[in-house]
Structure 1
Amino acid sequence: MTRPPNRPVPSWVLLLGIAILAANLRPALTATGPVLPLIGTDLGLSGPTLGLLTALPVMVFAATSGGVHHLVERFGIERTTVGALTGLALALLIRSWPGWAGNLWLGTVLLGAALAVLNVTVPVIVKRDFSGSASWVTGSYVAILRLFAGLAAALAVPLAASSELGWRLALGCWAVVAVLALLVWLPRTWRRRDSPGQGPAPASSVPPADTPVAAAAEPAPRPGSRHSGTLWRSAPAWRLAAYMGMQSVAFYTAFSWIPSVEQHLGIDPAHAGWHMFALQLAGILGSLLTPVLMRVGTDERLAATVPGLVITAGALGLWLAPTAVLLWVALIGLGTGSAFVAILSLLAIRAADLRTAPRLSSMAQAVGYTIAAIGLLTAGFVFEVHVLAVLPLIIAVGAVTAGLGLGVGRRHSIQA
C-alpha cells in the first residue's frame, strides 16, 4: 500500500475526535425528558403527544440507520460524519426556535436522522483508527457519552429556569457542542481524500506502533468466518442486531419510565431525576469495566452475558425491595452501560473488514432501533395497566439480553 503524503495523525487527535463525537450522541435526547412538562404547557401538548415526541428519534433511528452505509461508501467516514454534525447543530436550533410549533417536530426528526448517522459511523471510526484497542476506546467514548447524557438531564431544568427562553435554551444550547465537534472534524475532511468505507485504513489514520492505542493491520478473515452475500441472510448478524435491540429497550425503557415508577413509590420527583444521573454514572463504570471483561476467557461470552444478568437483578430488586432504590437503579445503569459497550465492541470485532464494518453497524442499528421503538411502545401500554408492570418488562428484556450474549460472544467473524 502506498503511504499518503500527509503526516500521520497523532493518536491524541484521533482520540479527541472520537471523544467530541461521543459528547454529541445523547444530550439531544436526555435533555428532553426533564422539561417535557414545560414543553407541554407552552405548546398545549397532551401526554400521549409528549410520549410520541420522546419516541420519535428512536423511530427515526430505525428508519434511517439501514441506509447509512451507502453514505459512508459514497462520501467516506469523515465527510459523512461532518455532514451529520452539521445536521445535528441545525436540528437542535430548529427544534428550539420560537414561532411555528412545527419546528419542534421538524427539529426532532432531523436530529434523529443526524444521530442515526453518527451512531453508525463512530464504531467504524474506532475499528479503522484503533482496531487493536477497539474495546478500550469504545469503553472510553461510551463513558464520555454517558457523562454528557447525565449532565444534559441534570442541567435541563436549571437551564430552563435561568432564562426567558425556558425549555428552548435547555434543548438548543447543545448546538454549541455540535459546532465544537465540527471544528475538530472539518480539518480531517481536508486531509483525507479517499473513501474510508472501503479497504484497509490508510497509513495516515493509524497511530504509530509504539503508542498505547496502536492500531493493528486489517486482519484477514479467520478460518471460522461466516460469509454471506448479504448480511440480511446472516444468522450471526441477526443475533448482533437482536442484542443491539434488547439492550436499547432496557436503556430507553429504564430512562423513560423508572422516574415515574419511583414517584409511584413515593420518591420526590427531583430525587428521581437525580437518580437518573446516578444511573448514567453507574453506566460509565459499566462502560469502563467491559473492556476488562472482554479479555477474560477465550471469547467474549462473559462480557456479552453479564450485562443482561445485572439489568435483570437491578429491575428485580427494585420490584421486590424498593427501599434500596438507588442501589437497584445503579445496577440497571451498570448493566445498560456495559451492554452498550459490549455490542459496539462486538460490531467492530466481528466485522471481517472495513467494507463489512459500516454495513454490519448499519444493519444492527436499523433492526436494533426498530426493536427499541416497539419496546418503548410496549412499555407505554404496560405502564397504563400498572405503573410497576414496567419492571417485569425490564426483567424479561435483561434475561433475553443475557441469553443472546451466549451467541454473540462466541468468537467468529462476519463478512459481507
Structure 2
Amino acid sequence: MSSLARSSSRLPVWLLLSGILLVALNLRPVITAVGPVLPVIGDELGLGSAALGVLAAVPIVAFAVVSPVVHPLARRFGVERTVLVSLVVLALGTLLRSAPGPATNLWIGTALVGATVAVGNVLLPVVVKKDFPLRVPATTAWYVATQSVFAAIASGVAVPLAAVGGWELALGVWAAPVALALAVWVPRLRAARVRTSAPVAAHHSGSTDGPATAGPAATPGGAATGDRTEPVAAGDAPRRRRGSVYRHRLAWLVAAYMGLQSTVFYSLLNWLPSVEQDLGVDPVTAGWHLFAFQAVAIVGNLAVPSLMRVGGDQRLAATVVPGLVLVAMVGVWLAPGLLWVWIVLIGLGTGSAFVVALSLVGLRAADPATASQLSAMSQALGYGLAAAGLVLAGVLRGVTGPGATVLLLVGVVAVVQLLVGLRVGRSRTLHV
C-alpha cells in the first residue's frame, strides 16, 4: 500500500489521502451555498437581478483570471506551500464575505473565494499525480465524489442556516472545514521541506518504489493523460513546445465545450432556486432540490465513462448529456408539476458533462505538454464564458421579471453544447 504514494516522504497514506479529500471538500460549498440564499442577499442589500447575476459571476471570473497563473506560482513556491496559502486566503475570504459592514465586504470576499478555489481546482490533479501515481483515476473519483457530496449538503442546509443566523451564517459557516484542511495539510509542507533539502535520487520511469518528481515538476498534463504518463519536468516543457494551442481549431472546440457545460451548471446552480420560488416552491424545498440535483450528479460522474467508450469515440456521450439538460429545461417550462423528474435529469446531465469536458482535455492532447496548455486554455476561456453567461442570465431576469425565462437561456446553451459535442467528440489528437 505504501508503494502507491511515492512522494509521501514517509507520510502515511491515510494522511496524504485525507489532505486531498479535505482540500476537495472546501472547493465547492463556498460556491454552492450562495444560490439558495441569493434572493435573501438581494432583498437585504438592495441588489437587483442584474447585480445578483454579477455577484454569482465573480467567482467564475476569478477562475478564468487566476487559473493560468497557478502553475507559475506553484513552480516558484512549491505545490504544497501554494495550496497552504490558498487555504488561508480561502478562510479569510469566506469570513470577510459574511462579515458585518459595507456591501464591499461581500464583493471582495467573493472575489477572494473564487481566486483561491481556482488554485485548488488546478493543483489538486497535480497533488494526486504526485501522491498516488498508480491510482490516479480512483483517487480522482474519491475527491470528485467528496466535492459533490459537500456541494450538495451546502445547498441543502443554506436556507435553514439563513433562517437561524441570516445569509451571513449560511455562507460563513464554511470557513470551519477550511481550518481542518489546514491542520492536515501542514505536515505535508514539512515533508516537502525535507524532500527539498535531501539529495535528489534519479527518477526511473516505471519504478513503483522510487521517489516521485518534486512538486513543481508535476503538471496537470501528467495527471490528465492517465497513470502511464510520467510528469514533465518544469524546465523541459517550454523547450518542447513548438507552438500554441490557441492556433488550433480542435483546442477551441475543447475550450468551448468546457465553457458551455460550465455555463449550464453555474447558471442552474445560482438561478434554479429563484426560478423554483417564482413557480411557487418554498425556499427550503428549493434548496433541497439543489441538493438533489448535485447528489444525482455523482451518479453521472461515475456512469459517463462507460458511455464514452460506446461507438469508438466520444460523440455519443458529448451529445447525450446536454440533451438531458435540454429535455429538463423544456420539462420545467411545460410541466413544472414533474419537477423532481427534471431535477434528476439536470443532475445526470451536468454531472456527466463535467467528466466529459475534463476527459476531452486529456483525450485530445497528444502529450503532457500539450495537455498542460490545453487545460489552462480550456479553464481560462471556459470559465470566462460561464461568467458571461451568468451575467447575461441576471440581465435577462431583470428585463423579463420573475419566471422561468432564465431556463430558456440555459436550453439554448445546451443546444449549442450538443452541436459542439458532435465535432469535439470525434477521435482526434492535438500536438503542439
- TM-score range (shorter-chain normalised) is 0.7 to 0.9
Q: Where in structure 2 are the equivalents of 1:261-340 lying within 5 Å? A: 261-340=275-354
Matched with 2:404 is: 388
- Superposed CA RMSD: 3.3
Closer, same or farther in 2 for the Cα pair 1:109/1:5, shift >3 Å? closer
Offset of residue 134 of structure 1: 4.8
- Please say if residues 311 and 335 of structure 1, whose CA atoms lie closer than 8 Å, have aligned partners that are also in contact: yes
Offset of residue 399 of structure 1: 2.3
Structure 2, unmatched stretches of 5+, are 1-5, 197-202, 214-225, 233-240
Matched with 1:365 is: 379
1:167 is paired with a residue whose SS is helix
Structure 1, unmatched stretches of 5+, are 207-213, 221-226
- Please say if residues 50 and 391 of structure 2, whose CA atoms lie closer than 8 Å, have aligned partners that are also in contact: no
Say whether 1:398 aligns with 2:410: no
Say whether 1:375 aligns with 2:377: no
Matched with 1:209 is: none
Say whether 1:250 aligns with 2:252: no
Matched with 1:162 is: 164
Matched with 1:189 is: 189
| Letter aligned with residue 121 of structure 1 | L
Matched with 1:16 is: 18
Runs of 4+ in 1 over 6 A off after TM superposition: 199-202
Matched with 1:223 is: none
Say whether 1:78 aligns with 2:80: yes
Q: How far, CA to CA, are the matches of 1:303 and 1:127 in structure 2?
A: 26
| Letter aligned with residue 172 of structure 1 | G
Q: Deviations over 1:212-243 (max 9, x none)?
A: xx9434299xxxxxx75122223322222111
- Please say if residues 134 and 349 of structure 1, whose CA atoms lie closer than 8 Å, have aligned partners that are also in contact: no
Q: With structure 1 as the length reference, what TM-score do the two structures score?
A: 0.83
Matched with 2:274 is: 260
Aligned length: 396
Closer, same or farther in 2 for the Cα pair 1:305/1:252, shift >3 Å? same
Closer, same or farther in 2 for the Cα pair 1:353/1:19, shift >3 Å? farther
| Letter aligned with residue 186 of structure 1 | V
Q: Deviations over 1:23-77 (max 9, x none)?
A: 1111111212333344445545455433332221112222222322322332343
* Identical counterparts, % of pairs: 49
Q: Deviations over 1:269-296 (max 9, x none)?
A: 3322221111111111111212333344
Matched with 1:60 is: 62
Q: With structure 2 as the length reference, what TM-score do the two structures score?
A: 0.80
- Please say if residues 138 and 341 of structure 1, whose CA atoms lie closer than 8 Å, have aligned partners that are also in contact: no
| Letter aligned with residue 247 of structure 1 | Q
Q: Deviations over 1:326-374 (max 9, x none)?
A: 1012101111111112222333454555544444322211101110011
Deviates more, 1:282-291 or 1:331-340: 282-291
Q: How far, CA to CA, are the matches of 2:7 and 2:381 in structure 1?
A: 40
Q: Where in structure 2 are the equivalents of 1:95-106 lying within 5 Å? A: 95-106=97-108
Matched with 2:250 is: 236
| Letter aligned with residue 399 of structure 1 | V
Closer, same or farther in 2 for the Cα pair 1:73/1:299, shift >3 Å? farther
Q: Deviations over 1:347-406 (max 9, x none)?
A: 345455554444432221110111001111222233333633322322222222223233
Closer, same or farther in 2 for the Cα pair 1:189/1:173, shift >3 Å? same
Q: How far, CA to CA, are the matches of 2:254 and 2:137 in structure 1?
A: 16
Say whether 1:92 aligns with 2:107: no
